[in-house]
Chains A and B, each alone.
Chain A
C-alpha cells in the first residue's frame, strides 16, 4: 500500500461546482496532515492544515478521520483560480518533520 494515496484525477469542473478530494495514508503513527496546492511548474504552498475536528477556511473544508486513515478536502463554489494540483501531505510529527506527499490531483475549473 502506498504511503499516501490520492484520487488520480484529473478533475475538470465548471465554475461554481463543488469538488471533493480524497486521500488515504498507511502510517497510523502519522501526526500532522495537510493539503498543499501546487500551480504548474511552481513550488507547493500550504493550503491548510487538517485537524481531527475538521476545519474550514472560506470555501475550503478539510476533514481527518484517524480511524479510517482518511483525509478529505472540499472546495465549494469553485473559481477559475482554484485550478491547480492539490497535494495530500502527511508528517510523522514530533521531531520528525519529514513530509510524505501524495502524487497530487490536478483540478481544472472551466468557465
Chain B
C-alpha cells in the first residue's frame, strides 16, 4: 500500500529540547516536503527536497532543519523548539514522473511545546 508514515503522531515537549519528527514514503517519490497547519493560516511549507541531498527552504523555515540522506526518508528537526512551533505538521511526497503531481500526505504530527 502506497503511504507516507510520520512519527510520532502526538508529541508534547518542553522548550529547548531537541526533537525529530520522522517521515518515510514507500512510493519512490523524488519530491518531499514539510508543512505546518495553524488555525486561520492554513498549510504553509517549511522545507522541501527535490531529491537526495537536495533541500531548500519553504515559506516558514525558521527554527527547523531537514535532511535527505535517503530517498524514502525526510526527517524534520527542531533543534531548540519554542512554543510558537506548537502546530500540526504534515509530511508530503510527490512523484515527478508522468506529469502527476498528486501529493500524498502523512497522517500528521500534533506537536505541543510548553
Contacts and interface: CB of A to CB of B under 8 A. Distances in A.
Given A43-B108, A46-B102, A103-B40, A98 B90 contact: no
Interface in B62-114: 88, 90, 92, 94, 96, 101-103, 105-108, 110
Of B45, B92, B101, chain A has the most CB atoms within 10 Å of the CB of B101
A99 B42 contact: no
Interface residues of B, number: 25
B43 interface: yes
Contacts of A102: 42
A43 B33 contact: no
Interface in A19-61: 32, 34, 41-46, 49
21 contacts: A41-B108, A42-B107, A43-B107, A43-B108, A44-B43, A44-B90, A44-B103, A44-B105, A46-B102, A49-B102, A93-B101, A97-B94, A97-B96, A97-B101, A98-B45, A98-B58, A99-B33, A101-B35, A101-B42, A101-B43, A103-B42
A93 B31 CA distance: 12
A100 B31 CA distance: 15
B33 A98 contact: yes
Contact of A91 (B44, B101, B105, B106): B101
A50 to B, nearest CB: 12
B23 to A, nearest CB: 12
A102 B41 CA distance: 9
A86 to B, nearest CB: 12
B9 to A, nearest CB: 10
B50 interface: yes
Most buried by B among A34, A101, A104: A101
A98 B107 contact: no
